[in-house]
Amino acid sequence: MKWLLALLAAQSLNAQCLEVPITVTEVAVPSEVNKSTEAYVMMSGQFPNSCYKLSRTEVTHPDTFTHEIIAYAQILDEVCLMKIVDFTFEVELGILLPGEHTVIVQSGDGRVFQNKLLVQ
C-alpha cells in the first residue's frame, strides 16, 4: 500500500510541471567554423519569473545543411520570484560537413530566427 501512495504522489508532482517552448529574443550563430570543430548556437531571452527552468532543446536536421532548434522550459508549481529572469545557453550542433548551413530557431512566441553558418 505504501508503494502505491508513493507512486500516486510522484505522478501528481510530475503532473504539476508544465513544459512549454521558450521565447527566444536573441540568437548568435558564428559566421563560420572549421569542419573539424563542433558548431554551437547561443540563445538568450527572459523567463517571466523564477518558476521557469530550461528543460531541454530539440535539434532536428531536415537535411544535411538545415538545422532546426526549439528549446523548452518547465514551469514548476512552486513559490516563485515574480521577476524577470535572464537566460543564455548554448546548443550544440556537432561537427558539420563543409558548406553553407541554415540554422533555424523557433521561438515560443511564434518568431523564427534564420541564420547562415559557413563550414570550411
Q: What residue ranges define each of the domains in the chain, with the CATH number in brackets?
A: 2-119 (2.60.40)
30: left (phi over 0), alpha (psi -120 to 50) or beta: beta
Q: Does the predicted model carry a pTM greater than 0.75?
A: yes
pLDDT given for residue 58 in this prediction: 97
Q: What phi, psi does 98 have (nearest 5°)?
A: -60, 145
Q: Which residue has the higher pLDDT, 12 or 101?
A: 101
pLDDT given for residue 8 in this prediction: 43
How far from each other are the two terminal CA atoms of the chain, in whole angstroms? 62
Per-residue pLDDT for 22 more than 60? Answer: yes
